[in-house]
Structure 1
Amino acid sequence: MDVADPGGPDVSVVVATFRTGAPLLDLVDSLARQTIGTDRLELVTVDDGSGDDTPDVLRALAADRPWMTVAEIPNSGWPCRPRNVGTDLARGRWVLYMDHDDRLWSQALEAMVSAGDRAGADVVIGKEVRTGGRTIGLEAFRSSTDDAHVTRDHAFEVLTPHRMYRHAFLDEHGVRFEESLRRLEDVHLLAAAEVHAPTTAVVADLACYQWVIHGENSSLRHPDPVEYFDAARRVLDEVDRWPHPEEVRDDARRVLLRALVLNRASPSGLPAWDEEYRRAFFAEARRLTRERLPASLDAGLGAHDRLRAALVRRGDLDLLVALGTPRRIPTTRPHVAAVEAADGRLRVTVTVRLLQGDGADLVLRRRGDRLLLRPDPLVPDDLATVLDVAAEFDAARVDLLLVERSTNAEWFQPAEVGTRLVEGPDGPVWEATLVADVDPATARAGHPVVPGRWDLRLHTHLAGIDSRVLVRLDEDLALPAPLRQGPMTTAAYRTAGGRMALHVTRTRPPGPSRSRRARVRLLAGRVRRRLRLRLR
C-alpha cells in the first residue's frame, strides 16, 4: 500500500486561499462532517499572500482542529504555486485539490478513498455537481468504474482540477501544476498526468464535490486572449505526449476544440462580449485552431459544431456571432406525454423534437442520400454540406435526469428511447420518445431520493446540439396519486412554470398523544410512590 507518511492520514485536501472570506467556513465544516473521520484526513491550506485577515482566520480555525495545517507564501498571483506547496506539505496517501469556496458531501472522501484503493487507481474522479451553473463532463458520471478510459468514458471532459491523486503517483512522475500558467493550469495538470497513463476510477453513485458558482469565480472572468491560447498550446503539447493511439489523442483535441473555441460562440460568450475584446479573442482562437487543431478533426464533430468550426477556420466572426444568439441556436422543448404509477415507480413518457431558437420545428432537408439540418438563411450554400446528419441519428443520446433542486445534482434514470423522422409540410423533423422508470428507492444511482423538491430534465445530445431542458407538463395531463414507500412519500406535481417536478417528504411515525403521554407519566408516578411505601 502506498504511504506518503507512515503515520499520516489517508487523504490530504489541498486548498489554495486568497482573500477567501466566509466560504472557507463552509469548506471546513464540510470536511469536519466527513464520514471517513477527521483522524483519516487532513486539510492543508496555503495562503497566497492575501494581505488581509485570511491567514488569521485560517490560524484561528486550525487552533482547535488538529487535522488542519496552515502555510503562507508570498503572493504568486494564481493557485498553481500554493497548490504545489500544499502537495509537498501533504502527508496523505491521496491528495484532493479543492477550491476555497467549494464543499464536499459527507460521504465523499470515504467513497473516493475506498474506490481508489479497491481499483489500485492513480486518479479518482468523484461525481461533481456545479451549483449555479451547468455541470461539466456530466457523461463521465453515468456509472461508477474502476478503470475509466480517458476519452471513451468521457473522463477528460471533466475539465476541472477537483480530482484525487495517489500521492506516490504525483511524486514518482513529478506531476505538479505548471506555475508559469495563469490560465488553464487545471486542464494542463489533467493532460500532464495522462502522459503517464494513470488508472482512473470514477465514483458516480454518490455526489462528492460541490462546485459553487458565483460572481467571484476567477474562471468566469475574461482571460487575456494571448495568454489564454498560449496556455492552450501548452495543454496540447501534453496531449501530443500521451502514450495512446492517435485516434485517442484526436478525441482529446476535439474535447479542447469544443471547450476552448466552439463553445465560446454560445449566447454568454462571443455575442455578449464587447466588440474589441470579441475580435481579439476570436483572432487568437482562430490562430490556435489553424496551428494546432487541423480540419481533419471536424469530421468527428456533430453537424452544429462542424458549422461553427468551419466559420472559425474561414475567419467569419460576424456570422459566428449572429448564429450564437439565442433565437438562432437549435434547442429542444421536451414535454410529458404520460405519467403513471406502477410497482412503486413512476413511469414517465417524454417526447422531444429539435427546434429552432425561435421555437419552430427544426426541419431537415433531403439532398440525395444526405439529410441536412436546414441551414439558417445566413449560412452560405457552400457550407450546407457540413450539416449532413444522416449518419448521426444512431449516435444520439437522450436521457431523463432527476435533479435535486437545492443542489443541481443530476441523476440518470433508466429509460428506453425510440427515435423517428416525422414528415411535416416543410420536410422531416427529428423526434424522440423516452419512457423512463423513476423509482424513488433507487433513483440516485441505486440510492433512495431524499426529502425535497426534484425536477425532471431531459438531456438531448444530437448533431453537436447539447440541450438540458426542464420537462414541460401539459395542464390537462392527469397525475397519479402519490407513491408511498415506508415513511417516504413522492408526489408528482406541476410547477408554477408548467414543469413536472416531484415533492418528496418523510412522514414520522405517529407517537403517543400529549394526553396519553401525560397519563403514562401519571401512572409511572403512582408506581414509584407505591414502591417507596413498600420499601419503608
Structure 2
Amino acid sequence: MPRTTPPRVSVIIPAYNSMPELTKCVTSAIEQTLGPEQIEIIAIDDGSTDGTAEELDRLARACSRLRVVHQPNSGGAGGPRNTGLDLATGDYVFFLDSDDYLGPDALRRMVTTADENRTDVVLGKMVSVGGRAVPTAVFSHNQPRTDVFSSLAYRTLGCWKLFRRSLIERLGLRFPPYRNCEDKPFTAAAYLNADGISVVADYDCYYSRNRQNGNNLTRTASALVHRMDGTRLCFETVARYVEPGPRRDRIMRRHVEWELCGPLRAPLPREDEREARERFYPQFREWALRYVTDGVFQQIAPPDRLIVHLLRADRYEDLMTVARHAKEDETRGHIVDKGRVYWLHPFFRDPLKAVPDACFDVTDRLPVHHDLTDAAWTGDGGRLRLSGHARIDSLGPLEPSTRLILRPRGFAHPDLRLPVVVGATPYLPGAHTGDSPEPAARFSAVLDLDAVDSGAPLGDGVWDLHLEVHCDGVGRTVRLRQARTDGDGGRTDPAPRELRTTSRTGRGPTTARPFYTPHGNFSVEIRPTPAEPPCHVTEVAWDPSAPGTLVVGGRLTAEAARHRETMTLRAEDDTGLARETSLHCAPAGGHTGFTARLPVRELPPGRWTLTLTASVTPGADEPHAPVPVPVTTTLTGTRWFSASRLGRPYYAKPLPRGAHGALVLRVAPVRLTVALRRRLRALLN
C-alpha cells in the first residue's frame, strides 16, 4: 500500500563494507515502536565489496519502508548521508551509522520529546558496546528544553541525533567531503541555530560499537591529514554563527581543547617531521592566534595553556618537546607559592624558556574533595548543626581560616561568613562515617538562624551554603553538598522548623526549611509560616452532561465558610486575562463542601492556570494566597464543537503543572489536518 502521509522520521544509514554489523543496525530501525507508517529508512551502499549491497537488497525485499541506494564509493560517510538527505521526506531526520543500532523505543521517545517541547535537536542516551567511547556527562538527567550555552550538549558533536528536517533545509546543511571530522561542523551549525535542544537520558537510545574487523572510520582515518579540513570548518562555523564574547568563548573552548590541543599532544609527534613543521604546525598556529581569545585561554587547563602559548610565540621545537613528553609531565607534582599552586613542569620558571606562570597555575583546578556528612537541628531553637570533611587535592590539612558561607539566591544581601571548627571534630550521632576521613580534614559548624546575620535572624529567601576551604594558604570555595544518597537515590532533608518570633519584631511565625537540591547541594529556605489554605480540593473532572465544562469540588475551612461569598474559581491565561466563577456551597458531613463549574468551552484559546482565590477576610492583614487546583492523573483531554465559531471543534487538555503546582489547561482549536492524519494512521494500523 503506498504511503498516504509523510513519515515522522527519515532514518539515514550510510553503509560501506559494514558486514556483519549491518543486519542488526537496519533491523533495529525496522522494529522501532514508533510504528511502520511513521518511519522511512534510507540506506546508502557506498560502493561496498563485502556483501553489504546484497544484504541491504535482501532486507529491502522484506520491508517496503526500506529504500536502498547504491552509489560509487565516496571515501567517507558524508557523501552517502547527503544522498539520504536529498531523498528524506520525514519531519525529522536521524543518522544511524551502520556499525550501531537503536533501542526499540528510541525514536518514539525522541520524537515525542521534540513534539512536546518544540525543539529542533534531540540527543538520545548513548551506550557503549565493546568499549567504544561515548559521551556520558550530558546524559546525567532528562532535559526537556535547553541549549548549548546552558548544558553539556556541545561536548558531543557526532551526528547520531534527531534533527528537525526543516532546520537542516533552512540552513542548507550538508556534510563536507572529509573522511574524518565531517559531522562536527554539521552538528555544530545545527546546534547553534536550533530553536531548543532536548536530552533523553532515561532510556538507552543509541548503542555505539566497534566493528569486528576494526575498520571504523575513526580508526582508519585518524591521521592529521584527515582531520585538518574538518577542524578548520569547526572554528569557522562557530565564528560565523556566534558573536565575539563570553558565549563564543564557551563554545570555542571545546574546539581548542579537542580539535587544537588534543592532536598536538598525540598525532602531531607521529607525523613526518617535514609534514609536521611545514604543513600542520602553521595551521595550528593560525587557529591559536585567531580563535584563542584571553577568555578561552583562562578557561582551558594548564597543559593546553602551555601549548597555546608556544603556538602564539612560534616556538615549534619547544612545542614538540612538550608534545613528546606530555604523558610523563602530567604526573609531575605541584608547588605552592604565595597562595597559588603551580604545575611543576620542566619549563616552569626556567629562565631560558620564559613561559608565564599563568600557563602552570592549577590553583582553581585542584579538586576539592568534600562531603556534608550530616545536618540536623540541635536544641529547641533555630540552631542547625553541620558536620563533614573537606580537603584540597595534593595539599595539607584544613586550616582554621576555613569558613562557611551563606549566599543569597536571587536577592541582594551580602554573603554571611561563619567560622567552622576544624580538625578532630566529632561527628554527630548517627552521621555517616564510612569514608573514614583523616581527622585533619573534618569540620563542624552551628548555624543559629535566629542570630546568624550579625545578631539578627536570617532573612527571608533561599540561602545557598558554600564552604571556603583553606589548606597550605590556598583557598577554594565550593558548593556545600552531600555526596552519598539514600537507598532510593535521594537524600533526607532535615524537617522544617518554625523559628522564634521574639527576634523578628513585627513579623509573624517564620519557618526554616533546610533541603538538598537534586545534585546534593545544601540550602536553607526562610519563609513566613503559611496560613492554613481556605479550602481543600478533592475533585477535578469534566462534566459528562455538559461538554467542555470542568467541575472542581472540595471543602472549605471553618473560617472560609463564614466568608464563602468571597471565594471564586479563577482561570488566568499567560497574558493576564482572567475568568472567575462562584462557588456553590452546602453542608457535607460536618464541614462545608463546595462545587465550582468552569465553562472551559467559553475561554479563548491559550494556556489557562486554575486556582481558587479568596479576597481579604475581616481581621486579616492580606488576602489568602491562591490555592492551586491540583493536577490529577485521571483528568484527560476533552473536545467540543463551538457553535459561535462556525461549528469548529476545540479541545482542552492538561499540561505539566504551572506555578506552585497549579493545573494548566491548553485550550485550542483542533487542527483538522492533524486529526485526519491520526485517524488515517489508526485505520491503517
**TM-score above 0.5:** yes
Shift of 1:421: 5.3
Change (3 A) 1:240 1:265: closer
Q: Which amino acid aligns with 2:171?
A: H
CA contact (8 A) 1:145 1:201 kept: yes
Structure 1 window deviating more from structure 2 (15-24 vs 78-87): it is 78-87
337, 354, 370: which is aligned to 2:340? 370
CA contact (8 A) 2:369 2:391 kept: no
CA contact (8 A) 1:371 1:388 kept: yes
Shift of 1:131: 3.4
CA contact (8 A) 1:271 1:324 kept: no
Distance in 2 (CA, whole Å) between partners of 1:76 and 1:417 is: 58
How large is the RMSD of aligned CA atoms in angstroms? 3.6
Instruction: With the length of structure 1 as denominator, give the TM-score of the two structures.
Output: 0.63
Q: Which amino acid aligns with 1:153?
A: S
The answer to whether structure 1 residue 220 and structure 2 residue 211 are counterparts is: no
Change (3 A) 1:265 1:228: closer
Alignment of 1:196-275 (within 5 A): 196-214=193-211, 215-223=214-222, 225=224, 228-243=227-242, 246-265=245-264, 269-270=267-268
2:160 paired residue number: 162
1:171 paired residue number: 169
How big is each residue's C-alpha offset from its partner over 1:153-196, in whole Å with a ceiling of 9 and x where there is no partner? 12111021111111222223322223x44432201102222453
1:89 paired residue number: 87
Which secondary structure state, in structure 2, belongs to the residue aligned with residue 260 of structure 1? helix
Which secondary structure state, in structure 1, belongs to the residue aligned with residue 144 of structure 2? coil
Q: Which amino acid aligns with 1:201?
A: S
Distance in 2 (CA, whole Å) between partners of 1:30 and 1:365 is: 54
The answer to whether structure 1 residue 386 and structure 2 residue 359 are counterparts is: yes
Q: Which amino acid aligns with 1:374?
A: L
66, 69, 73: which is aligned to 2:67? 69
CA contact (8 A) 2:249 2:293 kept: no
Alignment of 1:387-406 (within 5 A): 387-393=360-366
Q: What percentage of aligned pairs have identical amino acids?
A: 28
CA contact (8 A) 2:32 2:105 kept: yes
Q: Which one has a larger percent helix, Structure 1 or Structure 2?
A: 1
1:48 paired residue number: 46
Q: Which amino acid aligns with 2:11?
A: V
Shift of 1:428: 9.0
Distance in 1 (CA, whole Å) between partners of 2:299 and 2:343 is: 17
Change (3 A) 1:76 1:424: same
Change (3 A) 1:237 1:56: same
- More contact order relative to length (CA 8 Å, sep ≥ 6): 1
Distance in 1 (CA, whole Å) between partners of 2:130 and 2:474 is: 33
Distance in 2 (CA, whole Å) between partners of 1:137 and 1:389 is: 25
How big is each residue's C-alpha offset from its partner over 1:216-237, in whole Å with a ceiling of 9 and x where there is no partner? 1112234564563233222222
2:410 paired residue number: none
Distance in 1 (CA, whole Å) between partners of 2:307 and 2:180 is: 24
Shift of 1:291: 4.2
Q: Which amino acid aligns with 2:339?
A: D
Which secondary structure state, in structure 1, belongs to the residue aligned with residue 247 of structure 2? helix
2:323 paired residue number: 321
Which secondary structure state, in structure 2, belongs to the residue aligned with residue 36 of structure 1? coil
CA contact (8 A) 2:180 2:227 kept: yes
CA contact (8 A) 2:121 2:191 kept: no
Q: Which amino acid aligns with 1:321?
A: A
Distance in 2 (CA, whole Å) between partners of 1:424 and 1:397 is: 12
Shift of 1:13: 1.1
2:392 paired residue number: 420
- Identify unmatched segments of 5+ residues in structure 2: 372-387, 398-471, 491-685
Distance in 1 (CA, whole Å) between partners of 2:239 and 2:47 is: 35
CA contact (8 A) 1:97 1:163 kept: yes
CA contact (8 A) 1:242 1:249 kept: no
CA contact (8 A) 1:197 1:243 kept: no
Distance in 1 (CA, whole Å) between partners of 2:485 and 2:29 is: 32
Shift of 1:138: 2.9
Change (3 A) 1:9 1:45: same
Which secondary structure state, in structure 2, belongs to the residue aligned with residue 261 of structure 1? helix
Structure whose alpha-carbon radius of gyration is higher:
2
Change (3 A) 1:132 1:249: farther
Shift of 1:71: 1.2
Distance in 2 (CA, whole Å) between partners of 1:184 and 1:397 is: 37
2:113 paired residue number: 115
- Identify unmatched segments of 5+ residues in structure 1: 331-355, 357-361, 400-415, 444-536
Shift of 1:14: 0.4
Change (3 A) 1:322 1:52: closer
Change (3 A) 1:136 1:275: farther
Instruction: With the length of structure 2 as denominator, give the TM-score of the two structures.
Output: 0.50
Distance in 2 (CA, whole Å) between partners of 1:398 and 1:256 is: 31
1:452 paired residue number: none
Shift of 1:59: 0.7
Which secondary structure state, in structure 2, belongs to the residue aligned with residue 124 of structure 1? strand
Distance in 1 (CA, whole Å) between partners of 2:13 and 2:83 is: 10
CA contact (8 A) 1:95 1:166 kept: yes
Structure 1 window deviating more from structure 2 (312-321 vs 268-277): it is 268-277
Distance in 2 (CA, whole Å) between partners of 1:417 and 1:66 is: 63
Across the two proteins, how many residue pairs are aligned to each other?
A: 388
Distance in 1 (CA, whole Å) between partners of 2:276 and 2:237 is: 28
1:23 paired residue number: 21
How big is each residue's C-alpha offset from its partner over 1:241-292, in whole Å with a ceiling of 9 and x where there is no partner? 22556322222211111111212355x6455667666655445433432344
CA contact (8 A) 2:224 2:268 kept: no
Shift of 1:370: 2.1
CA contact (8 A) 1:42 1:67 kept: yes
Alignment of 1:355-504 (within 5 A): 356=332, 362=333, 364-376=334-346, 380=350, 382-383=354-355, 384-393=357-366, 418-420=390-392, 423=395, 436-437=483-484
CA contact (8 A) 1:12 1:91 kept: yes
Alignment of 1:95-110 (within 5 A): 95-110=93-108
Alignment of 1:117-136 (within 5 A): 117-133=115-131, 135-136=133-134
CA contact (8 A) 1:112 1:124 kept: yes
CA contact (8 A) 2:132 2:208 kept: no
Distance in 2 (CA, whole Å) between partners of 1:294 and 1:48 is: 41
Which secondary structure state, in structure 2, belongs to the residue aligned with residue 165 of structure 1? strand
Distance in 2 (CA, whole Å) between partners of 1:39 and 1:56 is: 25
Which secondary structure state, in structure 2, belongs to the residue aligned with residue 176 of structure 1? coil
Change (3 A) 1:218 1:430: farther
